Chain A
Amino acid sequence: MSGEHPGVAAALAARVRRLESLLEQRGLVDPQELDRALEAFLARASPANGTRLVARAWADEGFRARLLADANAALPELGLSMGGGLQEQRLKVVQNTEDSHNVIVCTLCSCYPIALLGPSPTWYKSEAYRSRVVRDPRAVLREFGFVPGPEVRINVWDSSAESRYMVLPRRPDGTEGFKEQALAALVTRNGLIGVAPV
């Protein structure tokens, strides 16, 4: 029973609101405390985190190796973590190369590395993106204005369990000598999802 369930999201939202108000009425949760926790998490959750990670990985080969081998262990080097929710989520960073390109999706719902990319864009949660990108990624990328060469193998990553994924794009040519801040400015959110080259 995977896939789209019309009305389930609205029903779930209503259930969460009801639960929240019951917890507040019974004095089990302080609504201000809940708001503070949510605001603090969202204030830290931004694509700027992802772009900083990429810039450091481009500038520092050792960091890139550590990030690819065990992203959760590497994040604290930049003061970041995947522990924004109830428990730390496993992060896997997948690297684009000359002959392979990675794209991230969650076909079953909308799993996304919010701590590093901020809240996900609407299209990422759309049924059209979720169902089509696994089946025909090149057609979807073309609609984003991105046409990888025929020699490039496309790897789609479906975040169907507890891991979250982020793409490490290729460093653009002609950026030798760029400082990390300038490198980070080249990286887009779409590049971190894999629907743009950078």
Chain B
Amino acid sequence: MAELFSPGDRVWADRADPPYHTRLPRYARGAIGTVVERQGCYPLPDRRARQLPAEPEPVYTVRFAAAELFGEGDHTVTIDLWQSYLRPAGRAEQR
């Protein structure tokens, strides 16, 4: 699967709450962060856990401001996210 994002890109984490296993933490859903690094490709756990074919796909290191995640705090939280969890976030209004 081709890499859609590069370091510096702003991305928006999916806000869906799927009825199956996922590695997109709940606290990050719907939040906008910045890609820090590409990690390589790994099978999507959401599909693997359901025993569906899971082609390796890009995983990114994505940094979020605490204020974006929790509405407060001056720290950052960096989360490792599969490409399927992310959408381009060119404009903040997309939320």
Stretch at the interface among B2-10, B19-27, B87-95: B19-27
Asked whether A153 lies within 8 Å of B76 as measured between CB atoms, the reply is yes
A134 within 8 A of B: yes
Verify A1–B18 contact, CB threshold 8 A: yes
Task: Determine the residue in chain A with the shortest Cβ distance to B18.
Answer: A1
The B-contacting residues of A in range 109-166, CB under 8 angstroms, are 134-138, 153-163
CB neighbours of B53 from chain A (8 A): none
Question: Are A158 and B21 interface neighbours, CB within 8 A?
Answer: no
Chain B residues proximal to chain A, CB less than 8 Å = 17-27, 39-40, 42, 59, 61, 63, 66, 69-70, 73-82
Interface: A2 (CB within 8 A): yes
Residues of chain B with a CB closer than 8 A to A159's CB: 80
Cβ of A153 and Cβ of B75 under 8 Å apart?
Answer: yes
Query: Mostly helix, strand, loop or mixed at chain B's interface?
Result: mixed
Instruction: Give the residues in chain B near A157, CB-CB below 8 Å.
Output: 77-78
Asked if B76 contacts A155 (CB within 8 A), the reply is yes
Q: Top 3 nearest A-B pairs by Cβ distance?
A: A161-B80, A154-B75, A158-B79
Given contacts A107-B27, A134-B27, contact A158 B59 (CB under 8 A): no
Rounded to whole Å, the gap between the CB of A113 and the closest CB of chain B is: 14
Chain A, interface size category, equals 20 to 34
- Nearest residue, chain B, Cβ from A161: B80
Report whether B74 and A161 are in contact in the complex, using a CB–CB cutoff of 8 Å: no
Question: Which B residues lie within 8 Å of A153 (CB)?
Answer: 74-76
B39 touching A162, Cβ below 8 Å: yes
Instruction: Please give, as numbers and ranges, the residues of chain A lying within 8 Å of B78 by CB-CB distance.
Output: 155-158
Q: Chain A contacts of B26 at CB under 8 A? A: 2-3
CB <8 Å contact, A156 and B19: no
Interface residues in A17-70 by Cβ distance below 8 A to B read none
Are A155 and B75 in touch, CB under 8 angstroms? yes
